[in-house]
Amino acid sequence: MSFASLNLISPLLQALSAAGYEEPTPIQARAIPVVLSGRDLMACAQTGTGKTAAFLLPALQRLEERKAAPGRGPRVLILTPTRELATQVKDAAVLYASQLRHIRIGAIVGGVPYPAQQKLLMRPLDVLVATPGRFIDHMERGRIDFARLEIVILDEADRMLDMGFLPDVERIIKAAPATRQTVMFSATFEGSVAGFASRLLTDAERIRIEPTQMQSEQITQHVHYASDTAQKKAMLLALLNEAAMGQAIVFTGTKHGADRLATAIGHSGHAAAALHGDMRQGARNRTLAEFRSGAVRVLVATDVAARGIDVASISHVFNYDLPRSAEDYVHRIGRTGRAGQSGAAVSFALRDERAALKRIERFTGRPILPVPVPGFPLIEVPAEVRGRAAPTHPTKRGAGAGKGPARHRPSGRPGNGPRAGRPGGSRRPEAG
Ligand code: AMP
Q: What is the pLDDT of residue 336?
A: 83
Residue with the nearest Cα to atom 20 of ligand 1? 21
Question: Which residues lie across from 205 on neighbouring strands?
Answer: 41
Residue with the nearest Cα to atom 14 of ligand 1? 50
Q: What is the pLDDT of residue 407?
A: 34
Final residue of a structural domain among 181, 212, 243: 212
Q: Is 35 in the same domain as 163?
A: yes
48 CA distance to ligand 1 centroid (A)?
6
Least confident range of 235-239, 254-258, 323-327: 323-327
Q: Which residues line ligand 1 (CB under 6 A)?
A: 21, 24-25, 28, 47-53, 310, 338-339
Q: Is 235 in the same domain as 318?
A: yes
Residue with the nearest Cα to atom 16 of ligand 1? 50
Q: Is 99 in the same domain as 165?
A: yes
Q: Residue 60: give its domain's CATH number.
A: 3.40.50.300
Mean pLDDT for all residues in the chain? 84
More confident residue, 250 or 25: 250
pLDDT digits (tens, 9 = 90+) for 184-204: 999 888 778 888 899 999 999
pLDDT digits (tens, 9 = 90+) for 288-322: 999 999 999 999 999 877 776 777 788 899 999 99
Q: What is the pLDDT of residue 161?
A: 87
- Residue 411 within any structural domain of the chain: no
Task: Give the 3-state secondary structure of residue 154.
Answer: strand
Q: Is 304 in the same domain as 160?
A: no
Helices 51-65 and 83-96, axial angle in degrees (round to 10) = 50
Residue with the nearest Cα to atom 5 of ligand 1? 50
- Residue 426 within any structural domain of the chain: no
pLDDT digits (tens, 9 = 90+) for 333-389: 888 876 666 789 999 999 899 989 988 888 777 888 888 898 898 887 766 443 433
Final residue of a structural domain among 187, 212, 237: 212
Q: Is 261 in the same domain as 274?
A: yes
Q: Which atom of ligand 1 is nearest to the CA of 312?
A: 10
Residue-range definition of the domain harbouring residue 121:
4-212
45 CA distance to ligand 1 centroid (A)?
12
Q: Is 208 in the same domain as 244?
A: no
Burial per residue of 52-70, b for 16 or more beta-carbon CB atoms within 10 angstroms, e otherwise: bbbbbbbbbbbbeeeeeee
Res. 61 pLDDT band, cuts 50 70 90: very high
Residues 87-98, mean pLDDT to the nearest whole number: 95
Helices 229-240 and 255-267, axial angle in degrees (round to 10) = 50
* DSSP track, 335-372: TSSGGG--EEEEEEEEGGGHHHHHHHHHHHTS--EE-P
> How many Å apart are CA 229 and CA 71, to the nearest integer?
58
- Residue 405 within any structural domain of the chain: no
> How many Å apart are CA 294 and CA 215, to the nearest integer?
25
Q: What is the pLDDT of residue 369?
A: 87
Q: How many domains is the chain built from?
A: 2
Q: Is 63 in the same domain as 121?
A: yes
16 CA distance to ligand 1 centroid (A)?
10
Q: Is 161 in the same domain as 26?
A: yes
Q: Is 41 in the same domain as 80?
A: yes
49 CA distance to ligand 1 centroid (A)?
6
